[in-house]
Amino acid sequence: MTRPDHSSLNVGSVPSSERPGLGLALGGGFARGFAHLGVLQVLEQNRIPISYIAGTSVGSILGAAYASGAPLARIIATCRTLRFRDIARWRVSRLGLASNHRLGDLIEQVFESRRFEDLRIPMAVVATDLANGEPVVFTHGNLCEAIRASCAFPGLFEPVQIGTRYLADGGLVAQVPTCAARELGATHVIGVSVGVEDGQRGAPTNIFQVVCRAVSAAQKHQLEIWEHHADLVLRPDVQSLSWDDFDRADEAIEAGAAAARRALPRMQKMLNPPQDSHLEFKARLEAEAQSYLWLSEASR
């Protein structure tokens, strides 16, 4: 097995007290999610270390690969040749059209760790409990099963059973898992949203487009929730890419890199605030947290 590239800025081995507290929340979006790799590229190039990662769907795959210590160049090289058949097998059943068991082979090929406890960067993977519609956040145990659950897009993939629960795509409850990143301990959270839209206009032409658009419509009403937990949101321009445009990985990666480069001044200001504004920033975070709790109670 190839060992990690230690020039990478994965900082999982750094004591938590020395970390800058930057959390990266990577959303779902199938092939569009390759844009996350462009964001990671820019962060590495500018020596901005990541202390925590949370991922939903494709964000959980790429985020966990990076958190495991796998060199970013190797992750990108793998994604450039990745196709839908490499992660899925058509198997029509009452619960879905395909199985994503093949994700296990991808994890074996690319990842440096197989369990959350062995990751170099603390990681959270979000899935959805189909029994109650609540998020299930994995931070310990088997990585493969958690990622498969987070990637089980309804209508396409069969749900993944873990214990007594049947789990589906985390994007149903956390399009961009900023809350999970915050709960890991991140002081600053950058959310990366690539959307789940099918990239087409006009009437849907197949059942997958119908499901994608329905999920996208529901997610638009969650924006205020996940954006509330983000200090900065990146939206790479990937709207021209369809969910299955795996052969356009380089376009998605460049879109992610471009979005990150545009946001660099804001990132650097956020991570290195003037000393006299530190207390004001902390007070603002605490006030927003209290406001969010009040709104949650009022909406019950």
In whole angstroms, what is the distance from residue 280 CA to residue 289 CA? 14
In the three-class reduction of DSSP (H, G, I as helix; E, B as strand; rest coil), residue 258 is classed as helix
Give the E-state strand segments of 18-105 in sequence order: 22-26, 52-56, 89-90, 98-99
Residue pointed to by tokens 């092939």:
31
- Report which of 199, 176, 173, 180 is spatially closest to residue 32, judged by C-alpha positions: 199
Q: Choose, from 57, 68, 113, 150, the residue flagged as catalytic.
A: 57
- Determine whether 118 is an active site residue: no
In whole angstroms, what is the distance from residue 138 CA to residue 114 CA? 13
Is residue 28 within 8 A of residue 175, CB to CB? The reply is yes
In whole angstroms, what is the distance from residue 8 CA to residue 186 CA? 20
Q: Which DSSP state fits 3? A: P
- Determine whether 169 is an active site residue: yes
First-last CA distance in the chain: 51
In whole angstroms, what is the distance from residue 81 CA to residue 179 CA? 32
Is residue 171 within 8 A of residue 196, CB to CB? The reply is yes
Q: Choose, from 129, 169, 198, 231, the residue flagged as catalytic.
A: 169
In whole angstroms, what is the distance from residue 157 CA to residue 168 CA? 8
Catalytic residues: 57, 169
